[in-house]
Structure 1
Amino acid sequence: MYPPSRKDFISLTLSDAHSHSYNNGKHRRQSCWRKWKQLSRLQRSLILLLLARYSYLDCSPIQASHRSGKLKSRLLRQGHMWGQLWIQILLWWSPKDQTYLFFLNLPLSWRGAMIQADQASEPPPSANGKEAAAPQAPADSADPLPLDGRTEARLEAVRDAFRHAWKGYKDYAWGHDELKPISRTFGEWFGLGLTIIDSLDTMWILGLREEFAEARDWVEKELSFDKNVDVNLFETTIRVLGGLLSTYNLTGDQLFLDKAKDIGARLMPAFKTPSKIPFSDVNIGKGTAHPPRWTSDSTLAEVTSIQLEFRELSRLTQDPQYQEVVNEVMKLVHKLPGKHDGLVPMFINTNSGQFTHKGVFTLGARADSYYEYLLKQWIQGGKTEDDLLEDYLQAVEGVKKHLVRQTGSGRLTFVGELSHTRFNPKMDHLVCFLPGTLALGAHNGLPGDHMDLAVQLMETCHQMYKQMETGLSPEIAHFNLQASDGQDIFVKPADRHNLLRPETVESLFYMYRFTKDTKYRDWGWDILESFNNHTKVPGGGYTSINNVRDIENPGPRDKMESFFLGETLKYFYLLFSDDMELLNLDKYVFNTEAHAFPIWPSPPK
């Protein structure tokens, strides 16, 4: 029995900071009450003040309504500021015995509140029996970085966001393609459970083993491609084939490779065209393919942004047919007339194999990932395919020559569009993939001015968020080339929606990995907070919104795209992670849906 004066307190034993084994040595025991009594009156007063401050922040009604968005953001920032001061108090209290590590290891939600024990991350793969391990760091890797309280809080915030999105999907849309979180129902596109497949590798990377096990069980027991349904070749390749291949590479689980082989074989009829340029749509049950109902054209992005996935399928299956058909497409496009200093038109005809709608050049929708995949195929193949590198370098020079401009007031650099020699100062949010791609190229030995342009464009993409009332970017921004009114960015009413897209966060991830400039992490954190403030739906899920300029009523669109879990949240997690071996960019290349494939070793010279 404890003496009466101490009956409400117990001793707490803490293990050594660098060991997870239990240590019951007497010299390690510390009574919380004794530690408290050893503090000076000033120290105790400061701690009590901080606790009171946290209690106020946690109990405040900022969660009650989206209409308090500005107040909420301010309080959240204050909460994190006080959180850092609290950590400093803990360091001051116990720098020698590292008692503070106990407190820093308590996971935090994005609001700064403590997470319950059953909400914490699952155990590492080794604790789950036969479960395959994620990629291991090389033997000569450095010692683990010391735990950073803010870093762990941000990582846990991403896990929280994923859990919330997953809860909505599981409760109201399980097995279907997409969640409609407002109406609490589902949307169907191909009937392939897109959200599950797109999210598999994200769950693995985030360490969400329970959710991953649920998804794997569905893939094993419910996922069937033997159905009479037309699917889009491009979307199915990047989301389904890409998701399955990436998950196989991360886990080593044969189930995912078997499913990838099944869907890959069912997509092959799309390539049976007179020109070898694939049709856009294929019936995976009947084995037939066709162009869209309204045209015989395919978009350039659709036919040139499936190569990473089919090449990887050939590598894993040792069946060359998949790589051969997509390599043939790239060879044809490489030789085609109609380019403009490396820039390509948006459409290509599946009968003639020629460009159509010539004279229109953009890095936005229908063309964007062509440029991305030129570089990434070159990297994936061990930097041996010179035609891909040549086309990429010419395209970057064409972008700089014809599409890059600066605003008249703030000198923001942006990438516009060209329509028959007429320049349009319009940039899709999709174009915000470009800073990351340019940085990736520079990292792989391409000209240094690519990185200079990446830095400038990254600032512009950041401003597309920062200058909006909700802190979220519109789908399309227009830029002011004049210096008269001081406004750099304006948004037309039809372009004010936000679809939870990943491109800016993706580029922030690349920029931080290559520069270690923490401002890119801070910009990403601001975006995550804005998603939580304006798109998070009570009960589960996140929704796209209609108006990023209306903080009072952003107008939910009732749709959560699969790429929010497959790309956006994954790139947030990688941005905030200190583990540079987690999908090391010298070992992996990402497809345009954020699914990672190993870089092939270069052949000996």
Structure 2
Amino acid sequence: MRRSCTVFLTLLGAVASSLAAGVTVQKPSLTVPTQYASQKAAAEKIFTTSYAAYREFAFGHDELLPVSLGLGDDLGGWGASLVDAMGTLVVMGFDDLFLEAVNFTSTIDFNTPPVPQLISVFETNIRWIGGLISAYELSGEKFPILITKAKEIADKLAFAWIDGNAIPYNSLDFTTNSPVIENNNIAQIGTLTLEWAALTKYTGNATYKELAEKGTIAVAELAAPLPGLAAQSVDPATGQFTDATITWGGGSDSYFEYLLKYARYTNNANNIFIDTWKTAVDSSIHALLRTSTVGNWSFLADRSDQGLIEHVGSHLACFYAGNWLLGGQLLRNQTIVDIALELNEGCWNTYAGTATGIGPENFAFISADGNFTGGDAITADQLAFYNEHGYYITHPDYIQRPEVLESNFYAWRVTGDTKYLDRAADAIASFNKFLPATVAFAGLNDVNDPGAGLFDDMESFWFAEVLKYLYLTFDDPNHISLDTHVWNTECHPLIAPPALSSYQGSGTLIPPKPFTTPTPITPGPVPSPRTQPLGVPAQ
């Protein structure tokens, strides 16, 4: 049930008394019961079927279209599915297929996309830089070409910073090394730190780490609509917000995710990351946390540009349960853990309530303060669905997103409760029943109507995230542990240093700063290209 204001986060006092040893995230001595052994094999089977089809019909391209047997190249054309699969190939022990992927990657020329298009800094970073460095570590650092290729990509992406701006642009023309001059969002700005710090670790060039850090820090230091909760849109030229929208969903999500994970990866080398995350969580509990009037399911609402609560949720946003579980453990704060588990229940209910057992892209709910969503009014059919399930569907498609299964994975590793194993097994059964296409697995047009047909795409993150999270849920928890690795937002694990005893940071929350809703900025012209990347090798 809804907590009163007197039971909100006690961030400064909810720390365990004994802080001598490094904090642990996973439940000690956790093992997977033997009756679930077949589920790891079942997750592996979905992967091998999917990857075999990719190799046959789309190898070296970004995505397989599993219904039409076509291919897609909207992520640069350098083989996004291949690099996203590399770490999973290592985790599952497919050494020959991994070596094939390494050999292919070693030949890629990242100077120009094979298919002419603008390149997303964000999408390229989380797949290629994160994926290559993770694969390098997972494979025992035997293939330095993976670091070489990660560096090549970063040196191109570094052209996103111009004119001394702390904040990069996101879309790049790789032919002219020119960014598109337009507003960026905080997810794209703040989802570079893990990968670029790892690249600094292996190249010795601090420029990568410094570039990524300064963008996130610039956002964190701005006056926010609510303490710690940055607005979504930023103009890199001015370094100022251009709206006042708050959400843990798409466009903001992994900014908040990386505040916490970067604090863990760097062991609080700069307290601004953990302090901002703590403050964001505290503000979210005060201002965004809602429960549905049916079922008492917990969700984090959005806050509109006008400061209105929007009773909406999304598959993307459901990562927040896992993120808060990680943070609650790192801070030794049971309040955060308990709320995270409630949020996890709300997100899992969006799976349990559909005809396929798979959750929708977007949903909405009604809480004690109303049902405003900022969009269409609830229909009679949606209200009937809500009265049965405690949420209703607003966008019914499933495009192979991982976030609900990601949070379920964290819940298992933190609590050891086998209900999370049962849920992962249910997801595998649903995937096998409803997603098979001509040769592999596709998405769904409507999770509550299997007859609506398949969505003809097999996303690269199907390999990197969905199937890796499912496999690791049933794998030995000590194989790749939450205590030894930090996962990037594409589920590429990176080796973490030994943990601190707690991650309190400065021990305080960030005080509010005066915030005025900004005037939108008109995009300007594309500048002349630079000739020298910022990520040049250290001399």
TM-score bracket relative to the smaller structure: 0.7 to 0.9
Confirm or deny: 8 A CA contact 2:483 2:499 kept in the other structure. Answer: no
Match of 2:316 among 430, 433, 440: 430
Partners of 2:119 and 2:291 in 1: how far apart? 40
2:388 to 484, 487, 490: 487
Q: 427, 445, 450: which is aligned to 1:546?
A: 445
Asked if the contact 1:506–1:571 (Cα under 8 Å) also holds between the matched residues in 2, the reply is yes
Of 446, 461, 468, the match for 1:570? 468
Aligned to 2:458: 560
Q: State the secondary structure of the residue aligned to 2:156.
A: helix
Structure 1 position 202 matched with structure 2 position 88: yes
* Residue pair 2:30, 2:477 contacting (<8 A) in 1 also: no
Mapping for residues 56-67 of structure 1, pairs under 5 Å: none
Cα offset, 1:306, TM superposition: 1.0
Match of 1:186 in 2: 71
Residue of structure 1 equivalent to 2:255: 370
User: Aligned runs of 1:49-60 on 2, under 5 Å?
Assistant: none
- The question of 1:297 aligning with 2:183 is answered yes
Given that residues 293 and 390 in structure 2 are in contact (C-alpha distance below 8 angstroms), is that contact kept between their aligned partners in structure 1? no
Matched, 1:581 2:478: yes
1:243 aligned residue: 131
CA contact (8 A) 1:478 1:489 kept: no
Q: Match for residue 264 of structure 1?
A: 154
| Counterparts of 1:511 and 1:550, CA distance in 2 | 29
Which letter does structure 1 place at the counterpart of 2:188? Answer: E
Q: Are residues 285 and 299 of structure 1, via their aligned partners in 2, closer, same or farther at CA, if it must alter by over 3 Å?
A: same
Aligned mates of 2:33, 2:256 — CA distance in 1: 37
* SS of corresponding position for 1:361: coil
Identity of aligned residues (%): 29
In the TM superposition, what are the counterparts of 1:359-398 in structure 2 within 5 Å? 360-398=245-283
Q: Where do residues 96-495 of structure 1 align in structure 2 (5 Å cutoff)?
A: 149-189=34-74, 190-221=76-107, 223-228=108-113, 229=116, 230-251=118-139, 252=141, 253-291=143-181, 296-358=182-244, 360-419=245-304, 420-481=306-367, 486-492=387-393, 495=395
TM-score by length of 2: 0.80
TM-score, normalization: structure 1?
0.72
Shift of 1:525: 0.9
CA–CA distance in 2 between the matches of 1:510 and 1:269? 36
Displacement of 1:444: 1.1
Gaps of 5+ in 1: 1-141
How many angstroms does 1:562 deviate by?
0.2
Distance 1:445 1:300 in 2: 24
After superposition, the CA RMSD in angstroms is: 2.1
Name the residue aligned to 2:425: 525
Partners of 1:150 and 1:536 in 2: CA distance: 26
State the distance in 1 between where 2:430 and 2:297 align: 22
Stretches of structure 2 that go unaligned for 5 or more consecutive residues are 1-27, 371-382, 502-539
The CA distance in 2 between the partners of 1:289 and 1:259, in whole Å, is: 21
Give, as a single letter, the amino acid of the residue that structure 2 aligns with 1:249: E
> 2: distance between equivalents of 1:418 and 1:400?
13
Deviation at 1:384, TM superposition (A): 3.2
Who wins on radius of gyration, i.e. which is larger? 1
Flag the 1:572–1:408 CA change in 2: closer, same or farther, 3 A.
Answer: same
Alignment match, 2:513? none
Shift of residue 467, structure 1, vs aligned partner:
0.3
Q: How far did residue 271 of structure 1 move?
A: 1.3
Deviation at 1:288, TM superposition (A): 2.4
* Deviations 1:288-320, CA, capped at 9 Å, x for gaps: 2223xxxx2001100111111011100111110
**Aligned in 2, Cα 1:557/1:385: closer, same or farther, shift over 3 Å?**
same
Displacement after TM superposition at 1:580 (Å):
2.2
**8 Å contact 1:381–1:602 — kept in the other structure?**
no
Listed one character per residue, the Cα deviations across residues 426-458 of structure 1 (whole Å, up to 9, x for unaligned) are 101111101111111122124211101111011
Question: Aligned partners of 2:231 and 2:332: how far apart in 1?
Answer: 25
Amino acid in structure 2 at the alignment position of 1:549:
N
Higher RCO, Cα 8 Å, sep 6+: 2
C-alpha displacement of 1:148: 5.7
